[in-house]
């Protein structure tokens, strides 16, 4: 719901449980008033008082009113070099060389439905209930305009933000910063919860207090990165899973990003988020617009769990477009950790035969099937089948897999090229590479310039032919290096600052073409594991390989951190061999299965090497997962122990939306002698119903399980685990 009160100059956005209010201030400034728990019929102008603050200047028309300063005003979107000395949202260079933007209100419109962003992924209005507010701001001295877009998803408690910057003049303007959203929180004490990491250890939750300074969460690696996920949370010091205030900020963006959190000298907190301004300079020609990526905002007054549920449902219903969002996913086996590059048709079919016997649905062939690709030093870019490994091409292999009753999937890395490839030898100008400089290498590969139409057309032709000529049900889209040497041979010198942004737009364009041409193919995102796990990629790929680290105990922290913003059905999770190839850790097959069942379940090993007892356990795992797959995919996810308790054990739950059942999972990371008992309170049950633990005679009331909780028996050994399914019986 969007309300406008012309007599008061108030714009109010209501969702089911939140209110967002701003004021069209009499002098043309767009003042942010409130974002928090829903409050009907409230005018929050009373919260803000003006005082003379030293060294906080005054607009020219108010120079005699020293209490009025934009340097202390909460704002919706901030200009630059016009009196607000805090973090700006926009930095523009005009034709005369001046850096300035003094943005004032020039009008607004309220429309039914949800806005779209040209060339960018953005939330869509599936059910026709969303509304859009568009506010136009104009610079006081130039024809530069800024349009602020607000999308209101009332039932999900999510407000989207995006910005369009319009050059209404006759000379080019250079944008050196173009944030998607700014939000000022003038009162309260806050902490920052962010999700840092590295390759094989992504999205580690870290909670830090805010000081009187600026903190940034950012990536300059050309992708959202293993190192700093773009999703951040601002929370009160007393916020926990099921109590306390918190705000979420989730950019729908897969490239360089930057979220700045600044506490000013009065204790007000400003969050500015969007494209990273490092090596960004966009030439905005007269009459042209620049659109920023979207940001999903949400607020919870009842802890992190509610905030997570808001994002999970937003992604489920309004970000992921794939038909597979609401369908069972195939249980797959991937050959990578079984064979690496050393395979042929018969070796792959041996794995597939054993997989079929055990109940696997999908066989996926990973890296090494194309060009001359016997290691990672050659072949990328030559997307034709290596018939020395696969005589007769893919068809004999695919037919063999189909005869076993399974589907076939394939790995690809479209954005990369090796110098030792036919493609590079034909088109060295197609890579990102600064003139007269040796490039930086990673895995001995270079990055294709995805901003180029000819590059994208080549890749589309290669992969559309592959998918059209072969019965392929699944594609794993990988990206195995950070992007450096950002220089495009297709852009003039004064547009090189656009190369990084145009690269990501090009990736989106290719994904859009392929996913729309082949809607029945399930695309999984990957970037060395979880190096591009973001809402932008989820718009095109409904699941993403969560991490190259398949160690079950390491995966607990990775999946825990990921769950704060992203639903379980988006997380690729597999059972792998032990000792684990990343850590050398030995973990039971049962525990590996419990952890992998909290995502899109599969196997990453040579099933022929398992013992008979291990194969029996795989059969049991697959049977168990198929019984609860719909619950894991569509149920409500709960973290049952707090962040600080994760050192010793991890407990999480999937509850059916109708309260009919719940799946509770426990993994003990550190078994203690004479340990305290592990006790949790379940969530999402029907308090009036009775529940039985599957496989036992134990019966409990829903009220008891949610109020009194459940106490696990003492578990012993290395990394023990339990999985309990509570079924409603009355």
What digits encode the pLDDT tens for the residues 266-319?
999 999 999 999 999 999 999 999 999 999 999 999 999 999 999 999 999 999
- Rounded to 5°, the CA angle 191-192-198 comes to 150
**How far is residue 115's CA from residue 274's CA, in Å, rounded to a whole number?**
18
- Average pLDDT estimate for 609-635: 97
Q: Which two tokens stand for residue 119?
A: 């060339």
The answer, yes or no, to whether residue 568 has pLDDT greater than 80, is yes
At 497 the pLDDT is 98
What does DSSP assign to residue 328?
Answer: P
* Active-site entry in 534, 549, 554, 617: 534
Beta-carbon contacts of 145 under 8 Å, excluding residues fewer than 6 positions away, are: 106, 136, 137, 138, 139, 165, 166, 168
Task: Out of 49-58, 456-465, 690-699, pick the least confident.
Answer: 49-58
Neighbours of 712 (CB within 10 A): 16
Closest residue by Cα to residue 98 from 76, 79, 123: 79
Task: Give 6-13's long-range contacts (Cβ < 8 A, gap of 24+).
Answer: 8/43, 8/45, 10/43, 10/45, 11/108, 11/133, 11/135, 13/133, 13/150, 13/152, 13/159
At 643 the pLDDT is 86
Q: How confident is the model at residue 60 (pLDDT cuts 50, 70, 90)?
A: confident
At 67 the pLDDT is 87
Q: What is the pLDDT of residues 161-216, one digit of tens each?
A: 999 999 999 999 999 999 999 999 999 999 999 999 999 999 999 999 999 999 99
The answer, yes or no, to whether residue 647 has pLDDT greater than 90, is no
At 412 the pLDDT is 98
At 730 the pLDDT is 76
Beta-carbon contacts of 612 under 8 Å, excluding residues fewer than 6 positions away, are: none
Q: What is the pLDDT of residues 416-450, one digit of tens each?
A: 999 999 999 999 999 999 999 999 999 999 999 99
Q: Which two tokens stand for residue 54?
A: 């030293």
**How far is residue 299's CA from residue 235's CA, in Å, rounded to a whole number?**
10
**How far is residue 68's CA from residue 57's CA, in Å, rounded to a whole number?**
8
The answer, yes or no, to whether residue 151 has pLDDT greater than 90, is yes
- Rounded to 5°, the CA angle 354-355-360 comes to 155
The answer, yes or no, to whether residue 635 has pLDDT greater than 80, is yes
What does DSSP assign to residue 718?
Answer: S
Q: How many residues does the chain have?
A: 730
* Active-site entry in 614, 634, 645, 694: 614
Whether the predicted model's global pTM rises above the 0.95 cut: yes
The answer, yes or no, to whether residue 582 has pLDDT greater than 90, is yes
The answer, yes or no, to whether residue 368 has pLDDT greater than 80, is yes
At 62 the pLDDT is 84
Q: How confident is the model at residue 390 (pLDDT cuts 50, 70, 90)?
A: very high
**How far is residue 244's CA from residue 494's CA, in Å, rounded to a whole number?**
49
User: Which residues, listed in sequence order, are joined to residue 80 by a DSSP beta bridge?
Assistant: 101
Q: What are the Cα distances from residue 191, in Å, to 33, 172, 181, 350, 361?
A: 21, 41, 19, 53, 45
The answer, yes or no, to whether residue 645 has pLDDT greater than 90, is no
At 446 the pLDDT is 98
At 81 the pLDDT is 93
* Strand ranges (E), 352-406: 362-365
Q: Sign of the CA dihedral 129, 314, 224, 196?
A: positive
DSSP track, 528-552: TTBTT-SHHHHTT-SEEE--S---H
Helix axes 612-634, 345-358, angle to 10 degrees: 70
Domains of the chain: 2-318 (2.70.98.60), 323-634 (3.20.20.70), 643-728 (2.60.40.1180)
Beta-carbon contacts of 222 under 8 Å, excluding residues fewer than 6 positions away, are: 255, 256, 447, 482, 483, 484, 486, 500, 503, 504
534 catalytic, yes or no? yes
- Average pLDDT estimate for 375-384: 97
Q: Which two tokens stand for residue 3?
A: 């309300």
Closest residue by Cα to residue 53 from 264, 271, 269, 270: 264
What does DSSP assign to residue 101?
Answer: B
- Average pLDDT estimate for 7-36: 97
Evaluate whether 268 touches 190 at the Cβ level (below 8 Å). Answer: no
Q: How high is the mean pLDDT of the chain?
A: 97
- Average pLDDT estimate for 102-114: 97
Evaluate whether 499 touches 282 at the Cβ level (below 8 Å). Answer: no
User: Which residues, listed in sequence order, are joined to residue 103 by a DSSP beta bridge?
Assistant: 139
The answer, yes or no, to whether residue 36 has pLDDT greater than 90, is yes
Evaluate whether 27 touches 62 at the Cβ level (below 8 Å). Answer: yes
User: Which residues, listed in sequence order, are joined to residue 30 by a DSSP beta bridge?
Assistant: 24
State the burial class of residue 696 (Cβ atoms within 10 Å of its Cβ: 0-12, 13-18, 19+). exposed
């Amino acid at each position: 719901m969007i309300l406008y009160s012309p007599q008061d100059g108030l714009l109010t956005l209501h969702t089911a449980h939140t209110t967002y209010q701003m004021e069209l201030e009499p002098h043309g400034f767009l003042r942010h008033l409130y974002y928090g728990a829903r409050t009907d019929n409230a005018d929050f102008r009373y919260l803000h008082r003006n005082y003379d603050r030293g060294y906080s200047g005054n607009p020219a028309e108010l120079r005699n009113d020293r209490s009025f300063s934009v340097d202390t005003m909460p704002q919706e979107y901030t200009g630059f070099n016009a009196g607000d000395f805090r973090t700006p949202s926009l930095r523009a260079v005009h034709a005369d060389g001046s850096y300035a933007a003094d943005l004032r209100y020039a009008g607004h419109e309220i429309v039914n439905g949800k806005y779209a962003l040209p060339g960018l992924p953005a939330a869509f209005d599936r059910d026709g209930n969303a509304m859009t507010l568009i506010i136009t701001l104009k610079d006081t001295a130039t024809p530069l305009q800024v349009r602020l877009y607000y999308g209101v998803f009332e039932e999900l408690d999510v407000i989207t933000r995006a910005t369009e910057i319009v050059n209404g003049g006759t000379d080019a303007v250079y944008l050196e910063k173009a944030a998607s959203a700014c939000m000022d929180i003038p009162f309260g004490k806050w902490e920052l919860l962010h999700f840092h990491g590295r390759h094989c250890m992504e999205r580690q939750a870290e909670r830090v207090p805010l000081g009187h300074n600026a903190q940034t969460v950012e990536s300059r690696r050309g992708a959202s990165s293993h190192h700093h996920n773009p999703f951040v949370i601002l929370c009160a010091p007393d916020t926990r899973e099921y109590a306390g205030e918190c705000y979420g900020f989730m950019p729908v963006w897969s490239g360089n990003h930057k979220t700045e959190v600044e506490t000013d000298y009065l204790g007000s907190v400003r969050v500015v988020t969007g494209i990273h301004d490092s090596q960004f300079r966009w030439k905005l020609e007269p009459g042209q617009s620049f659109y920023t990526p979207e940001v999903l905002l949400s607020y919870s007054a009842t802890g992190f769990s509610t905030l997570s549920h808001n994002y999970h449902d937003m992604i489920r219903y309004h970000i992921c477009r794939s038909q597979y969002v609401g369908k069972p996913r195939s249980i797959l086996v991937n050959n990578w950790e079984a064979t690496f590059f050393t395979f042929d048709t018969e070796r792959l079919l041996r794995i597939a035969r054993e997989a079929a016997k055990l109940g696997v649905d999908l066989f996926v062939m990973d890296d090494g099937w194309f060009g001359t690709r016997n290691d990672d030093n050659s072949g990328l870019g030559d997307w034709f089948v290596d018939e020395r490994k696969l005589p007769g091409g893919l068809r004999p292999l695919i037919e063999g897999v189909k005869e076993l009753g399974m589907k076939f999937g394939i790995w690809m890395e479209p954005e990369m090229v090796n110098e030792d490839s036919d493609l590079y030898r034909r088109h060295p100008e197609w890579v990102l590479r600064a003139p007269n400089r040796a490039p930086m290498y990673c895995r001995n590969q270079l990055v294709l310039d995805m901003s180029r139409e000819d590059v994208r057309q080549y890749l589309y032709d290669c992969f559309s032919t592959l998918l059209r000529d072969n019965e392929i049900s699944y594609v794993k889209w990988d990206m195995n290096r950070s992007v450096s040497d950002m220089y495009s041979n297709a852009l003039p010198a004064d547009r090189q600052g656009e190369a990084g942004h145009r690269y990501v737009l090009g990736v989106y364009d290719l994904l859009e073409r392929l996913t729309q041409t082949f809607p029945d193919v399930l695309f999984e995102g990957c970037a060395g594991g979880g190096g591009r796990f973001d809402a932008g990629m989820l718009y095109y790929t409904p699941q993403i390989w969560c991490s190259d680290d398949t160690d079950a105990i390491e995966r607990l922290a990775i999946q825990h951190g990921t769950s704060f913003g992203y639903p379980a059905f988006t997380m690729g999770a597999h059972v792998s061999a032990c000792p684990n190839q990343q850590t050398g850790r030995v973990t039971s097959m049962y525990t590996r299965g419990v952890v992998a069942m909290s995502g899109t379940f599969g196997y990453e090993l040579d099933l022929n090497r398992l013992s008979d007892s291990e194969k029996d356990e795989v059969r049991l795992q697959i049977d168990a997962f198929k019984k609860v797959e719909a619950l894991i995919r569509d149920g409500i996810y709960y973290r049952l122990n707090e962040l600080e308790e994760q050192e010793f054990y991890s407990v999480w739950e999937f509850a059916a939306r109708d309260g009919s059942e719940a799946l509770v999972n426990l993994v003990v990371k550190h078994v203690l002698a004479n340990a305290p008992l592990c006790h949790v309170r379940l969530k999402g049950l029907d308090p009036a119903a009775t529940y039985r633990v599957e496989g036992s005679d134990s019966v409990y009331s829903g009220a008891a399980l949610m109020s009194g909780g459940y106490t696990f028996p003492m578990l012993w050994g290395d990394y023990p685990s339990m999985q309990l399914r509570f079924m409603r019986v009355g």
